[in-house]
Amino acid sequence: MSAPDAADDPALATLREAMRRFAAERDWDQFHSPKNLAAALSVEAAELLEHFQWLGEEASRALPAPKRERVAEEMADVLLYLVRLADKLDVDLVAAAHAKLARNAEKYPVEKSRGSARKYDEL
């Protein structure tokens, strides 16, 4: 079975086009270099992580609704920057994710990795 590409994913393609329009309308394309987008993505990922800082495992699974909404907004920021970065580098995110999942399946065979948090080179 071959991995689908972004062209087959209307939601991702629509989001990519919306991001292109959003940036073009504001003349932000000049700022959206891959380096700047990767940095912004990292900042947004840190802002996402901040919501979980100091929480225990159970608390991180049972966020109250207002906190969950803020987490969702940060997750959206991460996704938006990632989609924009992929667009700028002409990376098919869906295909790249499927390829990475296949590589991970080879590195982490079920019989060795099931129930283990160890890294592949420690299995």
Q: pLDDT tens digits, residue range 14-51?
A: 999 999 999 999 999 999 999 999 999 999 999 999 99
Would you say residue 1 has pLDDT above 60? Answer: no
Cα 39 to Cα 17: distance, rounded to the nearest angstrom: 21
C-alpha distances (whole Å) from 25 to each of 20, 76, 113 are: 9, 20, 48
Would you say residue 7 has pLDDT above 60? Answer: no
Residue 3 CB neighbours (<10 A)? 14
- How does the average pLDDT of the chain come out, rounded? 93
Cα 50 to Cα 13: distance, rounded to the nearest angstrom: 30
Parse the chain into domains and list their residue ranges.
Answer: 10-90, 92-123
State the pLDDT at residue 101.
96
Q: What is this structure's pTM?
A: 0.86
Residue 86 CB neighbours (<10 A)? 20
Task: Give the distance, in angstroms, between the CA of residue 9 and the centroid of all CA atoms in the same chain.
Answer: 16
Return the C-alpha torsion angle 28, 31, 36, 42, nearest 10. Answer: -20
What class, spelled out in words, does domain 10-90 have in CATH?
A: mainly alpha
